[in-house]
Structure 1
C-alpha cells in the first residue's frame, strides 16, 4: 500500500515537471539505437529545452528532442508522424545540464517539442525560386502551417504578403492552386488588406471553419524580389569602373587635341642675351630676338608674319623711246608729194 507521503511526493514531481514545460511540448517518447530524430545531433553541457528548439529552428527542422540530460536531436514532420505512442511524462525525468529545474528526456527517452512560431509567419512553397510560391501562414506560438484561399485575394493582399517576406512589390497573383495544393487547415479566406498593413494577420479574414474554400483554391503569388548585398556591391563597383574609363578616355582625347601656342619669355635686359621664342610660325630675321624652328635659331625683327613683296609698278612713257621714228604726219590729199 502506497503511503500518503509517497502520493504527495509523486504529485509534486509531476506538477513541478509540468510547470517547466516550454511551449510546443508534444510528449515523452521512446527512442532507439537508430534514432527516431537522426538530424543535427548535438551534445550540450548547458542544454535546456529552449536551446535545443532554437538549434533545430536554425537548422530548419520543425521538431526538436532532448534526451538523457545533455543530448539534442532534430526531426521532420514525417519522422514525428511515425513515432510510436507517447509514454508517461515521468519517464522523461533527467535534469537538463543547463537548468536543473527542467527535464531533458531520460535514458532512451525523448522530450519532444514542436518548433513553434516566434511571431506570425508566412512562407512561399512550391515555386521555382524564392520570390514565388503557394502562400502559407502560421500564427504566433503555433506549429502548423496552413494555406490561404484565393477567394477575395487581390494585389493589395499580395503586397502585404510580399512585404512580410521582404521581397519587394508583388508582380502576379496565382489562383486555383497554380503552385500545387497544400495540406492541413486553410487558415485564411476572404482576406481584405488595404496594402499598407505590416502583416496579413492585421487584415480582416475568415479563419478555419468559417469559409467553404478547398485546397483547389490555394493562392500563390510572385513577388518582385530585391537585390542582394552582393549584387548591389557589384553594380556600384561596375559604375565606378565605367566612370574611371570615361574620365581616362576624356583626358587622353583632350591631350591629343591640344594645340601648342606661342610662348614668349620676358623682355631681355639691355645689352643682354636675345630672347628665345618658340613658335610654329616663321618670322622675318631682324632685331635681337631669336626664333627657333626645328632646332634652328633665327633673328626676329617683328612679331608679324612676312608680307609678300609687291612688284614695282613702272610708269608708262608719254613718248616713244628715242630709237623709234615719229609717226609721219597725215598727208593732205590735195597736196603734192614731197620732193625727193
Structure 2
C-alpha cells in the first residue's frame, strides 16, 4: 500500500507485467479490503476511505472490479469483471485502513447484551453489542445449534476449528443464552460459510462471557479454509 502513515494503510496497488498499478474504487468494498489486509499481515479492514484520501495521482489504474468473498488469501484469487474507462479516474482509486493487529487478546465488550429482532434473528440466535459485534449460530436447525459466526465490520465470518473444543463451545452457548455445550463440532459439520474466517486457535478457559474475550491468533489471522468451520450443539436452555 502507498501514501499511508504505515504499511497497514494507504492506496492499494498491484504489480503486473506492466509495473505497479493502483486499483479502481468503483465497487471496492470491505470484503476486498479484508483480503488485502490479511495478505499483508495487517489484521482486518477497518475502513475503505473514498475519494483522494491517500492519492497523489500519476499511477496507472487497474480497471477491474474485484468480487472477493473476504476469505481469499490473495486479491488475485478473487473473481474480476472489467470496468469501462469512464468508471474510474484518478481520485477514484481504492484505499484501505487495516487494524494492524497481530496475535493478541481480543478486546472485551463491556456493554449489556440482548437478543436482536429482525433479519439477523431470522438466520440465527443473535446477540447485539454497541460496538457492532454480533454472534449467531446458523444452519443447525435451531437457534442453539449450528456453525458459529461473528459479525465484524459489516461481514459475517466463521471460526476455524483449530484447537476448537468444549471450553470454546461453552462460551458460545452461554453468550447466546443456550445453556451449556453438548458438542463442539469441527470440519464444517453444519456446512461451509462464505464470508471471512475471523478467528483461529481459540483458547478459552470456558469462563469468558463473550467468545472474543478468549485468546486467539487475532482478528482475521488464520491458515484455514471454510472446510474447517467450527460449530456447536448447545443444550438449548439455561442451567442451574
TM-score when scaled to structure 2? 0.45
Higher radius of gyration, 1 or 2: 1
Higher normalized strand content (fraction of residues): 2
Larger relative contact order (Cα-Cα within 8 Å, sequence gap ≥ 6): 2
Structure (1 or 2) with the greater helix fraction: 1
Question: TM-score by structure 1 length?
Answer: 0.32
